[in-house]
């Protein structure tokens, strides 16, 4: 069956989040990474805004070099925990639209939308809808590539960044790939690139025209795959990660607290979010764990395991409240609360409703 795959990749992800949180940085070169320490800093650039890229700054570049290129840039430390939470929100949006969903990094995911849309026209509409929803809810832009497989979708999402939308229909694959440098194929690093260059191969088109046997004798198994990729053939499935062990959320209070209403409200918010994640990922859970960090950073966990698997929100919420009670009687204020469920059971593919299990 012909597939339609979307690849979604957020634009200059970490720095775009920083700009969103600090509007005064808009339009400025923003560099997220190690501390430049006036040019003497060690470590590297995680990412930077497109304004900074115009000056030649790139991910992975030593921070000292970035400082030399634009000393007046806004340099910020990496706030990974925060970006991860934003990422979770975005993945939650994306997942709704996919028949099969695979997150591949903090800011990118594949969506197999076969069956959800009937042709590329509809896929384009869907992509616009996704972009609009991310913009509206998270105030961030992304680039989307649409194609008949992961390879084409991935490359397509990259060619019109930022805020791009690139559609490559099956009959356009060959002309789309041909002129691109071999480096655009994921997995082709400097080493493969150099060997190919020695043979006079620079573009994907040239690679596609090569004798497959020759590539196999040069690179072994990878040569075989490389040739197929160059021809635009990629049968890799969009796969959900099946090995998830637990699902959880946590939050740190603005000010440490012992105020019961504040604590209960936060617990309710956390349980609601965890519950939404479970439903979306189609899991049932058996064990509930509460995590509490006090103002002096001592950290406690309290767990309860149920007799049967469930997805019931009321159960989750009342057990979490129960587990939290002992901490309200302590003298120390609470700094952080976390709710996690484990002992997960995936609901069968043909099982569409959670109702039977609650
Ligand atoms: P990318 O998607 O590669 O980069 P990006 O989102 O910043 O920019 P683009 O618009 O080109 O997609 O990576 C996602 C995030 O991962 C990025 O914001 C920061 C982090 N990252 C690093 O920390 N180090 C790295 O070397 C790279 C490439 C990314
Ligand atoms: Mg990105």
Q: Is the CB of 49 under 6 A from ligand 1?
A: no
108 in catalytic set:
yes
Homologous superfamily of 5-11+81-169? Reverse transcriptase/Diguanylate cyclase domain (3.30.70.270)
Q: Taking a C-beta distance cutoff of 8 angstroms, is the pair 76, 36 a contact?
A: no
> How far does the centroid of ligand 1 lie from the alpha carbon of residue 250, in Å?
25
C-alpha count within 13 angstroms, C-beta hemisphere, residue 271: 23
In ligand 1, which atom is closest to the CA atom of 14? 18
Q: Taking a C-beta distance cutoff of 8 angstroms, is the pair 57, 70 a contact?
A: yes
Task: Determine the pLDDT at residue 240.
Answer: 76
Domain spanning 14-80: CATH 1.10.3720.10: no
Start and end residues for every CATH 3.40.1170.60 domain found in the chain: 14-80
Q: Is the CB of 285 under 6 A from ligand 1?
A: no
Q: Taking a C-beta distance cutoff of 8 angstroms, is the pair 247, 275 a contact?
A: no
3-state secondary structure of 233: coil
**All residues at 6 or more sequence positions from 309 whose CB lies less than 8 Å from its CB, including other chains:** 284, 285, 286, 343, 345, 357
3-state helix, strand, coil in the chain (%, to 5): 45, 25, 30
Burial of 340 (0-12, 13-18, 19+ CB in 10 A): buried
In angstroms, rounded to a whole number, what is the distance separating the alpha carbons of residues 11 and 107?
9
Residues around ligand 2, an ion, CB closer than 5 A: 9-10, 13, 107
Q: Give DSSP secondary structure letters for 169-230.
A: -GGGHHHHHTTSBGGGSTT--HHHHHHHHHTT--BHHHHHHS-HHHHHHHHTHHHHHHHHHH
> How far does the centroid of ligand 1 lie from the alpha carbon of residue 28, in Å?
18
Closest residue by Cα to residue 16 from 42, 47, 56: 47
Within the chain, which residues score under 70 in pLDDT? 1, 241-243, 348-358
Q: What angle do CA 328, 329, 331 make, to 5 degrees?
A: 95
> How far does the centroid of ligand 2 lie from the alpha carbon of residue 327, in Å?
41
b/e per residue 311-325 (b: at least 16 CB within 10 A):
bebebbbebbeebbe
Task: Determine the pLDDT at residue 220.
Answer: 92
Q: Is the CB of 18 under 6 A from ligand 1?
A: no
Q: Is the CB of 83 under 6 A from ligand 1?
A: no
Task: Determine the pLDDT at residue 73.
Answer: 98
3-state secondary structure of 157: helix
Start and end residues for every CATH 3.30.70.270 domain found in the chain: 5-11+81-169
Start and end residues for every CATH 1.10.150.20 domain found in the chain: 178-230
In angstroms, rounded to a whole number, what is the distance separating the alpha carbons of residues 324 and 231?
58
Q: Taking a C-beta distance cutoff of 8 angstroms, is the pair 54, 38 a contact?
A: no
In angstroms, rounded to a whole number, what is the distance separating the alpha carbons of residues 47 and 177?
27
In ligand 1, which atom is closest to the CA atom of 32? 19
Neighbouring-strand partners of residue 145: 7, 166
**Token code pair at residue 149:** 């497989």
Q: Which CATH number fits domain 246-349: 3.30.200.20, 3.30.1490.100, 1.10.3720.10, 2.40.50.140?
A: 3.30.1490.100
- Put simply, whether the predicted model's pTM sits higher than 0.85 gets the answer no
Catalytic residue among 18, 51, 108, 225: 108
> Rounded to the nearest 5°, which phi and psi values hold at 40?
-100, 0
Q: What angle do CA 347, 138, 96 make, to 5 degrees?
A: 25
Task: Determine the pLDDT at residue 351.
Answer: 42
3-state secondary structure of 339: strand
Q: Is the CB of 158 under 6 A from ligand 1?
A: no
**Ligand with smallest separation from the Cα of 161:** 1
In angstroms, rounded to a whole number, what is the distance separating the alpha carbons of residues 41 and 67?
9
**Ligand with smallest separation from the Cα of 86:** 1
β 165-167/142-147 pair status = parallel
3-state secondary structure of 273: helix
In angstroms, rounded to a whole number, what is the distance separating the alpha carbons of residues 320 and 326?
11
**All residues at 6 or more sequence positions from 113 whose CB lies less than 8 Å from its CB, including other chains:** 4, 5, 6, 97, 98, 99, 123, 126
**Token code pair at residue 283:** 């899991």
CATH code, 178-230:
1.10.150.20
Task: Determine the pLDDT at residue 357.
Answer: 39
> How far does the centroid of ligand 2 lie from the alpha carbon of residue 173, in Å?
23
Start and end residues for every CATH 3.30.1490.100 domain found in the chain: 246-349
> Rounded to the nearest 5°, which phi and psi values hold at 68?
-65, -40
């Amino acid at each position: 069956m012909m597939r339609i795959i979307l690849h979604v990749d957020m634009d200059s992800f970490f720095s775009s989040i920083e700009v969103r949180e600090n509007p005064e940085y808009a339009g400025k070169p923003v560099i997220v990474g190690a501390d430049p320490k006036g040019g003497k800093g060690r470590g590297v650039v995680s990412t930077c805004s497109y304004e900074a890229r115009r000056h030649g700054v790139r991910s992975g570049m030593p921070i000292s070099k970035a400082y030399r290129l634009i000393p007046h840039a806004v340099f910020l430390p990496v706030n990974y925990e925060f970006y991860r939470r934003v990422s979770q929100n975005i993945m939650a949006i994306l997942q709704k639209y996919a028949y099969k969903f695979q997150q591949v990094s903090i800011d990118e995911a594949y969506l197999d939308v076969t069956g959800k849309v009937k042709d590329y026209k509809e896929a384009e509409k869907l992509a616009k809808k996704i972009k609009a929803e991310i913009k509206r809810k998270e105030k961030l832009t992304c680039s989307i590539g649409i194609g008949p497989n992961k390879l084409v979708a991935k490359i397509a999402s990259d060619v019109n960044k930022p805020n791009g939308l690139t559609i490559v229909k099956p009959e356009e694959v060959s002309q789309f790939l041909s002129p691109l440098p071999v480096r655009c194929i994921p997995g082709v690093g400097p080493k493969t690139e150099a060997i190919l260059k020695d043979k006079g191969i620079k573009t994907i088109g040239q690679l596609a025209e090569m004798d497959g046997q020759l590539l196999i004798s040069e690179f072994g198994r990878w040569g075989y795959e490389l040739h197929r990729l160059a021809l635009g053939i990629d049968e890799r499935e969009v796969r959900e990660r099946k090995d998830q062990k637990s699902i959880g959320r946590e939050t740190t209070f603005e000010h440490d607290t012992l105020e019961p209403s504040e604590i209960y409200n936060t617990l309710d918010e956390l349980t609601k979010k965890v519950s939404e994640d479970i439903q979306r990922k189609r899991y049932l859970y058996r064990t509930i764990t509460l995590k509490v960090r006090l103002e002096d950073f001592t950290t406690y966990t309290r767990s309860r395991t149920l007799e049967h698997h469930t997805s019931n929100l009321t159960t989750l919420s009342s057990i979490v409240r129960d587990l939290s009670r002992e901490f309200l009687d302590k003298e120390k204020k609470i700094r952080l609360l976390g709710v996690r469920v484990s002992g997960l059971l995936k609901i069968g593919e043909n099982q569409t409703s959670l109702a039977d299990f609650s």
